[in-house]
């Protein structure tokens, strides 16, 4: 490329002999360092600046070739070293462009500029002679306003007032306040640099602190009078404490790199000054400046990206919520298990560069959302979930049968359509009277059954957004998920409300049943659902001008995934999406008036009233499928006059195991079942055969789906059995439903799915990621911008597709075969491999109870390892005996490098089938490396 307009050549940075040279720091390119003299508010000051422009020049890119500039500002007590990953990602993208050419679809060329703030990093020290105090009235330390002026001055020295490319700001900690303040402070920019940013990115920060809330505990300690100077300047305590927040922990080398500019107390004055400038009180000298930043953020229409480490002890979730409410055009990715040093904890460069690219392309949609009128296949007219409740208000027929509870006569609890309708109606009025408004998020901490069903439909009717978390996530997982969703309300039974109280979950609390005054006060309750049902029983709910019914495009529910393949994700469904789903269920299940659905799977139990079927809840723990017994299944079928059953494979296994307990009447009832569905995990043909001995007149179907789209394809028992002799690898899940389009994104040699998706004959036979488009798929993931971006595919026909994360192939008859997940891919030299096929081969051996195929070694040259849980429990963990190794190798055509024995293949609790292969791969690598056998968990 021609250097028609070169960037400013860097001046070699010179550093005091007492300071470690950045050239020697890990992950830092010495070409990035430069010293810049800038005329700021109090004269000319010298700034150390990270600038990857010179490195781009060496690759052959001129200033004219740059597509965007990112201006990044660190907080306290870090320095521009924080942004090395973003700078390097810009260089890597440029190298990729050189390799692939400059055609359409190339990665943008991004220049990263990151100044060290004055008194920080390797920038000029201002020669303070007194220690900072917590009163915030010091005149010798940099204020927020001055730091905003400083940033403008640096950019004025580096950039043309009218750059030909968009400029984006990036900040962290108080650097976030500085960048947001600069981006929204028109007066400073117009009078100084003349620059106008195109968008804003920030990591954990806060633009406002309400004095009614306490300062976060770590800052309380630092601001405590004489402790401020002692902990921030005299000693490196504040610095050390900050560096200890890495999750995972920072290496010693990286910690030393952050400490390099702050070698002794003479270099740490800025750290103390920064803390002293926190405007915690209304009289603080920087309070007005912070107010101006907060107001500017609320007034701007500039697009913004918020990346948030949820485990930050300083910038708590309340600051995140404040930013989300202020920013008018914002997208967020919330990292549940990352903390304050998010730039170290996670790869932030990938979402940052991805977001910038979307802004450059003019693609600002926050999430995939197939419009009702533009779905992949036409669907019926929109109908809200409560339609049948409104339609059958006079019906005395059963709407629900709950076997987990009994009435006053000891009989299973039954509710007619008219009774359910009246209860939901009254609860809806009560919720509105209590202050629930459209869009309010509501955490539903109620066990599946009649109570959850009634409360859920009332929440949806009033326009609330139901947040549903599976108890199978455990207390920690549920708490993390609920805090992520940030509900304004919590509806729960006693255990759920107690959990909310103990873990300080956000939201007003409502109990299901009315409690005593003492209990109400102890649990902080604002009312009860059945209290509403009684109080408002004589009234009829109608929408009001100030409280309209929810629109089809409005959010209806946030359903959290099982978390078996990583932290649980909140899956957003709109009312339109749920309407499309219920229509699909009605068609697939052939639901007609009088149909009765016995559901051992919570989502389908809750959707029973929405499809006009009697919803029957068996006596089991829905969060523990294996608790369903044959007698519980039969008794529920009798009570609910059941025609259809939906149960997971784990539940059906226990039904078969306890079938000997059935008596004649119970067996007869099961013979009346006309349809049986099982999903959530592959259903082996032998299990199907065993179940059909109990329900011989039922059609046995095994639909394939996920939280993101509950129904994608379907296969019946006869087809599954007929395919038994095929050589296809994996588990066949049948043909896509008529409203589902399936495409395949082929995998390259390194197991990476292609950006190009294939349909029809072109898609047949490729090992690929499965991509779907259907009216009833998710509207997007909640607060997971980068996941939405990674899983979305747009095609020229205007459709939006969702990457499922599952891998497999389509056969010549259009049937779909599942072979694992994208993060389960094994990459031996012979070509990419999905574990499902060889696992299915090996699983047929009588010596094998469970098997997992994993890859050990570098990507592209991995050895294929089979990890076996043997039926013979006397075999010790470690390398498998020779005879078992030979049997495993003979069972499959894959070249198995090693066979290992474990007494514990880790699987998910929910389905007891989803294997944690990444965990096993790490374990196998350790065993093969040093021969030491430890637990897999």
Would you say residue 165 lies in a domain?
yes
Assess whether 851 and 872 both reside in one domain: yes
Three-state secondary-structure class, residue 703: coil
Closest by alpha carbon to 709, among 758, 651, 779? 779
Provide the 3-class DSSP secondary structure of residue 757: coil
855/738 same-domain check:
no
Q: What is the pLDDT of residue 565?
A: 62
Running DSSP on this structure, what letter comes out for residue 287?
A: H
Question: Based on the domain organization, do 812 and 894 belong to the same domain?
Answer: no
* CATH number of domain containing 257: 3.40.50.1820
What CATH number does residue 530 fall under?
Answer: 3.40.50.980
436 occurs within a structural domain: yes
CA-closest candidate to residue 394, choices 376, 412, 419? 419
Buried b vs exposed e over 67-92: b needs ≥16 C-beta within 10 Å? Answer: bbbbbbbbbbbbbbbbbbbbbbbbbe
Is 175 part of any domain?
yes
Element (H, E) at 93: helix 84-100
- Structure token pair of residue 647: 């149960």
Residue 773: give its domain's CATH number.
Answer: 2.30.38.10
**First CA to last CA across the chain, in angstroms?**
52
pLDDT block averages, 10 residues each, the chain of length 937: 36 39 80 94 94 93 92 97 97 87 72 97 88 63 94 93 85 97 94 93 92 69 70 92 95 95 92 88 88 96 97 93 95 95 97 96 54 42 89 85 82 91 97 97 91 95 94 86 95 93 91 94 94 96 94 95 78 95 86 82 78 89 82 94 90 94 95 90 86 94 91 92 82 92 94 92 93 95 95 83 95 93 93 92 91 93 94 90 95 94 71 74 88 66
My answer on whether 326 and 192 are in the same domain is yes
Same domain, 49 and 109: yes
643, 673 Cβ separation under 8 angstroms: yes
Residues 79 and 45 in one domain: yes
Q: Is residue 475 part of a domain?
A: yes
Question: Per the omega criterion (within 30 degrees of 0), is the bond before 11 cis?
Answer: no
At residue 345, what are phi and psi to the nearest 5 degrees?
-75, -35
The pair of structure tokens assigned to 651 is: 């539940």
Task: Tell me the DSSP string of 544-562.
Answer: BTTBPPPPTTSEEEEEE--
CA distance 168 to 72: 9
148 with 271, same domain: the answer is yes
Could you give the number of structural domains in the chain? Answer: 4
> Do β-strands 465-468 and 555-560 pair in parallel, antiparallel, or remain unpaired?
parallel
Exposed e or buried b for every residue in 499-522, given b needs 16+ CB within 10 A? bbbeeebbbbbbbbebbeeeebee
Query: Given this model, what pLDDT does residue 17 score?
Result: 33
> What pLDDT score does 3 carry?
32
CB environment 110-146: b (16+ within 10 A), e (fewer): bbbbbbbbbbbbbbbbeebeebbbbebebeebbbbbb
Domain end: 801, 822, 843, which one? Answer: 822
The alpha helices in 346-470, defined as continuous H runs, are: 349-361, 387-391, 417-434, 450-462
Instruction: Examine residue 444 and state whether it is found in any structural domain, yes or no.
Output: yes
Q: DSSP label at 449?
A: T
Query: Is 547 within the bounds of a domain?
Result: yes
Q: Tell the burial category of 36 from Cβ atoms under 10 Å away from its Cβ (0-12, 13-18, 19+).
A: buried
Residue 168 confidence (pLDDT): 98
Question: Residue 11 has what pLDDT?
Answer: 42
Last residue of a domain, one of 795, 822, 849: 822
Domain match, 842 and 812 both = no
**By residue range, what is the domain housing residue 902?**
826-930
Looking at the fold, whether 509 and 441 belong to one and the same domain comes out as yes
Q: What is the CATH number of the domain that holds 865?
A: 3.30.300.30
**Do residues 247 and 302 share a domain?**
yes
Same domain, 860 and 772: no
Are residues 497 and 407 part of one domain?
yes
- Quick check: is 646 in a domain? no
Structure tokens at 655: 């039904």
Cross-strand partners of 644: 597, 675
DSSP letter assigned to residue 222: H
Is residue 375 situated within a structural domain? no
């Amino acid at each position: 490329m021609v250097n028609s307009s070169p960037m400013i050549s860097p001046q070699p940075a010179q550093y005091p002999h007492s300071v470690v040279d950045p050239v020697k720091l890990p992950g830092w390119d010495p070409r990035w360092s430069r010293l810049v003299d800038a005329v700021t508010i109090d004269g000319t000051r010298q700034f150390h600046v990270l600038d990857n422009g010179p490195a781009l020049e060496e690759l052959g890119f001129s200033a004219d070739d740059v597509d965007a500039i990112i201006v990044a500002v660190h907080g306290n007590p870090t320095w521009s070293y924080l942004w090395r990953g973003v700078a390097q990602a810009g260089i890597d993208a440029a190298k990729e462009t050189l390799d692939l050419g400059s055609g359409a679809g190339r990665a943008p060329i991004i220049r990263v500029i990151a100044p060290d703030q004055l008194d920080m990093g390797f920038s000029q020290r201002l020669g303070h002679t007194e220690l900072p105090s917590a009163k915030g009235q010091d005149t010798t330390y940099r204020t927020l306003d001055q730091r905003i002026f400083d940033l403008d001055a640096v950019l004025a020295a580096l950039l043309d007032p009218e750059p030909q490319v968009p400029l984006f700001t990036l900040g962290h900690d108080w650097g976030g306040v500085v960048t947001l303040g600069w981006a929204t402070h028109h007066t400073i920019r117009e009078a100084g640099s003349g620059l106008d940013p195109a968008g804003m990115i920030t990591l954990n920060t806060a633009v406002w602190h309400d004095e009614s809330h306490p300062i976060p505990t770590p800052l309380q300690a630092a601001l405590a009078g004489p402790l401020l100077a002692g902990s921030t300047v005299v000693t490196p305590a504040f610095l050390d404490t900050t560096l200890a927040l890495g999750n995972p922990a920072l290496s010693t080398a990286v910690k030393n790199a952050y400490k390099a500019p702050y070698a002794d107390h003479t270099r740490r004055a800025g750290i103390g000054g920064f803390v002293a400038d926190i405007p915690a009180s209304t009289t603080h000298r920087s309070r007005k400046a912070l107010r101006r930043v907060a107001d500017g953020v609320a007034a701007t229409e500039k697009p913004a990206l918020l990346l948030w480490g949820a485990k930050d002890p300083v910038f708590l979730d309340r600051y995140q919520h404040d930013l989300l409410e202020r920013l008018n055009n914002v997208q967020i990715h919330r990292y549940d298990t990352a903390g304050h040093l998010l730039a170290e904890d996670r790869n932030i460069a990938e979402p940052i560069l991805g977001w910038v690219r979307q802004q450059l392309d003019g693609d600002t949609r926050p999430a995939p959302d197939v419009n009702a009128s533009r779905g992949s296949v036409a669907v019926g007219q929109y109908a809200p979930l409560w339609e049948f409740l409104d339609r059958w208000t006079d019906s005395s027929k059963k709407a629900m049968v709950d076997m987990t509870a009994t009435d006053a006569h000891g009989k299973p609890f039954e509710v007619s359509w008219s009774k359910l309708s009246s209860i939901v109606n009254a609860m809806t009025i009560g919720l509105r009277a209590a202050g629930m408004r459209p869009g309010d998020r509501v955490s539903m901490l109620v066990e599946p059954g009649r109570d959850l069903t009634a409360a859920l439909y009332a929440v949806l009717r009033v326009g609330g957004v139901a947040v549903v978390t599976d108890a199978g996530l455990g207390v920690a997982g549920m708490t993390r998920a609920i805090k992520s969703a940030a509900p304004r309300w919590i509806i729960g039974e006693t255990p759920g409300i107690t959990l909310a109280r103990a873990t300080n979950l956000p939201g007003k609390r409502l109990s299901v049943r009315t409690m005593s005054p003492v209990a109400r006060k102890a649990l902080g309750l604002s009312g009860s659902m059945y209290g509403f049902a009684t109080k408002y029983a004589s009234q009829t709910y109608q929408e009001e001008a100030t409280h309209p019914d929810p629109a089809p495009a409005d959010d209806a529910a946030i359903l959290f995934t099982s978390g078996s393949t990583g932290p649980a994700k909140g899956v957003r469904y709109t009312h339109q999406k749920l309407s499309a789903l219920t229509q699909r269920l009605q068609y697939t299940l052939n639901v007609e008036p009088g149909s009765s659905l016995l559901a051992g799977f919570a989502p389908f139990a809750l959707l029973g009233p929405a499809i006009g079927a009697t919803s029957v809840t068996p006596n089991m723990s829905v969060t523990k499928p294996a608790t369903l017994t044959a007698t519980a299944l039969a008794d529920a079928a009798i009570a609910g006059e059941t025609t259809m059953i939906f149960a997971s494979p784990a539940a059906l296994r226990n039904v078969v195991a306890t079938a000997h307990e059935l008596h004649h009447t119970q067996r007869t009832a099961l013979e009346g079942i006309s349809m049986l569905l099982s999903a959530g995990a592959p259903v082996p043909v032998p299990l199907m055969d065993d179940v059909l001995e109990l329900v011989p007149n039922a059609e046995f179907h095994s639909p394939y789906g996920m939280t993101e789209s509950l129904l994608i394809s379907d296969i019946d028992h006869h087809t599954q059995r007929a395919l038994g002799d095929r050589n296809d690898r994996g588990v066949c899940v049948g043909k896509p439903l008529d409203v589902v389009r399936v495409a395949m994104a082929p995998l390259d040699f390194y197991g990476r799915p292609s950006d190009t998706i294939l349909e029809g004959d072109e898609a047949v036979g490729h090992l690929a990621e499965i991509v779907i488009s259907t009216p009833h798929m998710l509207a997007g993931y909640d607060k997971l911008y980068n996941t939405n971006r990674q899983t979305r595919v747009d095609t020229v026909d205007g459709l939006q597709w969702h990457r499922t994360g599952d891998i497999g192939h389509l056969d010549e008859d259009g049937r779909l075969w599942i072979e694992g997940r994208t993060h389960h891919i094994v990459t031996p030299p012979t070509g990419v491999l999905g574990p499902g096929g060889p696992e299915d081969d090996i699983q047929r051996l009588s010596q094998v109870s469970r098997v997992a195929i994993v890859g050990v070694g570098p990507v592209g040259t991995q050895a294929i390892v089979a990890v076996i849980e043997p039926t013979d429990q006397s075999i010790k963990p470690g390398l498998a005996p020779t005879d078992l190794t030979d049997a495993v190798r003979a069972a499959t055509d894959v070249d198995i490098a090693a066979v290992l024995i474990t007494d514990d293949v880790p699987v998910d609790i929910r389905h007891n089938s989803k294997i944690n292969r990444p965990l096993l791969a790490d374990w196998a690598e350790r065993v093969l490396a040093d021969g030491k056998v430890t637990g897999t968990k």
